[in-house]
Structure 1
Amino acid sequence: MTSAGNNVEGLSGDEPIPGFGFNPPTAPVSGLEITDLRTLHDRMRQGGLERVHRVAFHTLTLITEGSGEHTVDFVTYPCRPGTLLWIRPGQVQRFGRLGTMNGTHLLFTPAFPPHFTSADRLINEWYGPTCWQLATGRDHAVLSTLVGQIRAEFTRRDGAVSQEILQLQLVTLLLQIDRLPRHGKRDDPHAGGEIYTRFRIELERSYADTRRAEDYGHRLGYTVKTLTRACLAATGQTVKQVIDARVTLEAQRLLSHTDEPVAAIAGRLGFSEATNFGKFFTRHTGAAPGDFRRIHQGPQ
């Protein structure tokens, strides 16, 4: 997130949650930037990184000094040296007050990594893990080294920066991150195989258009039973539960981070009647939309 904007490329043109576009002031390649978190914070001070926002690209942050916190989709992660954060396109986030916190901040568009590698699956995992607390052992050393190699290539002063080298270095970094344990994370997309991966991509495209499992099965060429089997393997939930959870998350984001009327939010999410949306939301969260908004909506 390198420049402020009303819209974020890849998100809806009438996106109600503020976004930041990918537009580095200077970069030797297209689609990637690496900088310090503190430098980015100073550069974007007027844009308000401490306000709620979302982006259409990936960010990886490895905290190297100090402490602070970062909130992503209603979960606040304490940050300290060794904390690794991966924020994916569309997630809603807010930087806490940085204080003494600093670290290496890597930004890349979904199109930057080469798509002939297994890392392509990771780029599409918008729902993957967000935070790891790395011990000062092998994992931390390996990731620190890889991040350092990307920075060294990105900042070459001889004019010989190679986009191909950066792409392959990034793929290596992503595959190493994929090896990290998913502590406390039930969602394991590997268990659902290609079927689950394809379903989640289609779900991200279509959750505001349809909540019917049959529609997803028809679009992907699978039976509902096959989709449910893949979802159960990956998440422990049926396909309908996964669909409803995605719609519920977006509803929570919009209720908490915008002032749009409940009826307008219902329309955005494909509900023909606000009352039907209210019943759906209450069933899945235990709170009416208005009550949820009053509890969770803070200063923007």
Structure 2
Amino acid sequence: MTDGSLQRVHCTDFHALTLVTDGSAEHTVDFVTYPCRPGTLLWVRPGQVQSHAEPGGINGTHLLFTPAFPAPSAAASRLADDWYGPACWQLAADRNYTATADHLSQIRAEYTRPEGASPEVLRLLVGALLLHLDRLPRPGPHSDPQAGGEVYARFRAELERSYATTRRAEDYAHRLGYTVKTLTRACQAATGKPVKQVIDARVTLQAQRLLAHTDEPIATIAHRLGFSEPANFGKFFRNQTGTTPGNFRNLNP
């Protein structure tokens, strides 16, 4: 597209995987900008907001799929539904890059078969790719959600269901049958942050997404995120980000 729409902040409901093979540019995912060069792997998940680099800045292999597409398995389903995983890896010219490129090449070969692609084979190949990506080293400290064990996994799932209705750590502890101290230990192990900060960060991220890619009034967004008054939402957002919702929206058109 040449109308500049992809360079603006936008949101999709499918997964987008890109392995960069040529060129250099920057790509922004959930308000974090990543430098892209040959060997960069980007994974943009459903619900995340992004803005593309200028057209022609980078080339590579691009794979789009819905969360329901990979062959069903516990691990593949977990990865396809993962909203919190890494968005970017810088793969050196080593076995990780080669293996990732090989997986994508197999998907492309099946998709372009002269006899016609097999949906079942494609689903298996995409599932295998996800399992391979799960083995890649996670960039940054405190970036392994499995470090928090089952406690953190259950908390994350409940947080995704309930972040718009409660921001109280005590509510999550009660619903899951843990103490707040147990949830904090799990969150510290997985993210380096206590449970309340993890909750507030999820609410803040959703607020940023809605402010950037929708035209909804700020009062409507506040209500959607469980705030009784827009003023309370404005205070919360400013405490978390250092700016007001209106200023944030203006800076992310």
- Give the structure-2-normalised TM-score: 0.90
Deviations 1:218-249 (A, max 9, x none): 43343333322221211122222111111111
Distance (Å, rounded) in 1 between the aligned partners of 2:212 and 2:89: 26
Give 5+ residue unaligned stretches, structure 2. Answer: none
2:76 is matched with which residue: 103, 115, 119?
119
Q: What percentage of residue pairs aligned between the two structures are identical?
A: 66
The residue type paired with residue 238 of structure 1 is P
Relative distance call for 1:186 and 1:134 in structure 2 (3 A) is: same
The correspondence of residues 174-253 of structure 1 with structure 2, limited to 5 A, is 174-253=130-209
Residues 42-94 of structure 1, C-alpha deviations (whole Å, 9 max, x = no match): 5xx56932222111221111112222221111112122221110011110001
Which residue number corresponds to residue 88 of structure 2? 131
Number of residue pairs matched by the alignment: 253
State yes or no: 1:80 paired with 2:62.
Answer: no
Partner amino acid, structure 1, of 2:31: F
- Alignment deviations for residues 258-298 of structure 1 (CA, whole Å, 9 cap, x no partner): 4433322211211001121122122222223334344x234
* Distance of 1:66 and 1:78 partners within structure 2: 11
Separation in 1 of the partners of 2:166 and 2:72? 28
> Deviations along 1:8-36, whole A, 9 cap, x unmatched?
xxxxxxxxxxxxxxxxxxxxxxxxxxxxx
1:105 aligns with 2:76: no
1:274 corresponds to 2:230: yes
Contact 1:69–1:98 (8 Å) recurs in 2:
no
**Alpha carbon RMSD of aligned pairs, Å?**
2.1
Letter in 2 for 1:153: E
Structure 1 runs not aligned, ≥5 long:
1-41
**Alignment partner of 1:118: what SS?**
helix
SS of residue paired to 2:104: helix
Show the counterpart of 2:241. 285
- Out of 20, 24, 49, the position equivalent to 1:92 is 49
Task: Tell whether 2:27 aligns with 1:48.
Answer: no
1:268 & 1:46 partners in 2: Cα distance?
31
Q: Is the 8 A contact 1:271 1:277 kept in 2?
A: yes
SS at match of 2:7: coil
Name the CA distance, whole Å, in 1 between partners of 2:220 and 2:57.
41
The structure with more helix, counted as a fraction of residues: 2
2:104 counterpart (147, 150, 158):
147
Distance 1:273 1:220, change over 3 A: same
Contact 2:48 2:209 in 1 (8 A): no
Distance 1:124 1:221 in 2: 24
User: What is the DSSP-based 3-state SS (H/G/I as helix, E as strand, rest coil) of the residue aligned with 1:249?
Assistant: helix
